[in-house]
Amino acid sequence: MSFAELLERVGGMGRFQIAFVVLLALPVFMMASHNLLQNFTAATPEHHCLVHHDAIHENQSLTYEDLIKVSIPIDKKQQREECLRFVNLQWWLLNPNTTNMNRTEMETELCSDGWMYNRSIFPNTIVTEWNLVCASRTLKQMAQSLYMAGILLGGIVFGGLSDRFGRRSLIIWCYLQMAVMGSATAFAPSFSFYCAFRFLTGMAFSGIVMNGVSLSVEWTPTKTRAIVGTLYGYAYTTGQFILAGVAYLIQDWRWLQLTVSLPYFIFFFYSWWFAESARWLVMVGKQDQAVKELKRVARINRKKEAGDKLNIETLRSNMKEEIATVKSNYTITDLVRTPTMRRISCCLCFVWFSTSFAYYGLVMDLQNFGVSIYLVQMIFGAVDFPAKTISVLTISFIGRRFTQAVALILAGIAILANIFIPQDMQILRTAFAVFGKGCLAASFNCVYLYTGELYPTVLRQTGMGLSNTMARLGGMIAPVVKMTGEYVPFLPLVIYGVAPIVSGIAAAFLPETLNVPLPETIEQVEIQ
Pair 36, 59 in one domain: no
Pair 306, 360 in one domain: no
Q: What is the mean pLDDT of residues 97-111?
A: 62
Pair 29, 56 in one domain: no
pLDDT over 80 (residue 129): yes
Note whether residue 165 is domain-resident.
yes
Q: Output the CA torsion sign for 452, 458, 464, 466.
A: negative
Q: What is the pLDDT of residues 451-479, one digit of tens each?
A: 988 998 778 878 877 887 888 889 888 87
pLDDT, position 367 = 64
- Which of 272, 305, 325 is a domain's end point? 325
Count: domains in the chain: 3
Measured from the Cβ of residue 418, the count of other Cβ atoms closer than 10 Å reads 20
Pair 71, 205 in one domain: no
Measured from the Cβ of residue 288, the count of other Cβ atoms closer than 10 Å reads 11
Q: What is the mean pLDDT of residues 475-503?
A: 83
Pair 16, 101 in one domain: no
Pair 153, 84 in one domain: no
3-state secondary structure of 116: strand
3-state secondary structure of 456: coil
Note whether residue 117 is domain-resident.
no
Mean pLDDT is lowest, of 14-23, 55-64, 181-190, for 55-64
pLDDT over 80 (residue 235): yes
Highest mean pLDDT: which range of 116-120, 157-161, 211-215, 491-495 = 491-495
pLDDT, position 324 = 61
Instruction: Quickly state the pLDDT bin for 505 (edges 50, 70, 90).
Output: very high
Note whether residue 123 is domain-resident.
no
Note whether residue 32 is domain-resident.
yes
Kindly state the percentage of the chain with pLDDT values over 70.
86
CA-wise closest residue to 178 among 196, 202, 194 = 202
Note whether residue 119 is domain-resident.
no
CA–CA separation, 431 and 418 (whole Å): 10
Instruction: Quickly state the pLDDT bin for 357 (edges 50, 70, 90).
Output: very high
Q: Which residue has the higher pLDDT, 186 or 481?
A: 186
Instruction: Quickly state the pLDDT bin for 315 (edges 50, 70, 90).
Output: confident
Note whether residue 445 is domain-resident.
yes
Instruction: Quickly state the pLDDT bin for 192 (edges 50, 70, 90).
Output: very high
3-state secondary structure of 252: strand
CA–CA separation, 47 and 57 (whole Å): 22
Q: What is the mean pLDDT of residues 115-132?
A: 84
Pair 75, 171 in one domain: no
pLDDT over 80 (residue 59): no
Pair 140, 259 in one domain: yes
pLDDT, position 481 = 81
pLDDT, position 95 = 64
Cβ-contact 167, 452 below 8 angstroms:
no
Mean pLDDT is lowest, of 37-46, 259-268, 349-358, 431-440, for 37-46
Average pLDDT in the chain: 82
Q: What is the mean pLDDT of residues 146-160?
A: 84
Note whether residue 352 is domain-resident.
yes
Q: What is the mean pLDDT of residues 219-233?
A: 77
- The domain in which residue 222 lies consists of 1-41+131-325
pLDDT, position 256 = 93
DSSP string, 123-184: SB-HHHHHT--GGGTHHHHHHHHHHHHHHHHHHHHHHHHHHHH-HHHHHHHHHHHHHHHHHH
pLDDT over 70 (residue 167): yes
pLDDT, position 431 = 85
Q: What is the pLDDT of residues 241-269, one digit of tens each?
A: 888 889 889 989 999 999 999 999 999 99
pLDDT over 70 (residue 370): no
- Please give the single-letter amino acid code of residue 326: V
Note whether residue 126 is domain-resident.
no
pLDDT, position 10 = 75
Mean pLDDT is lowest, of 81-95, 380-394, 508-522, for 81-95
Pair 143, 53 in one domain: no
Cβ-contact 504, 405 below 8 angstroms:
yes
DSSP string, 39-77: HHHT----EEEPPPHHHHHH-TTS-HHHHHHHHS-B-TT
Pair 98, 145 in one domain: no
Pair 181, 269 in one domain: yes
- Which of 285, 301, 325 is a domain's end point? 325
- Which of 325, 348, 371 is a domain's end point? 325
pLDDT over 80 (residue 89): no
Pair 175, 269 in one domain: yes
| Span between the terminal Cα atoms of the chain, in Å | 18
Which CATH number characterizes residue 174's domain? 1.20.1250.20
pLDDT over 70 (residue 63): no
pLDDT over 60 (residue 327): no
pLDDT, position 97 = 62
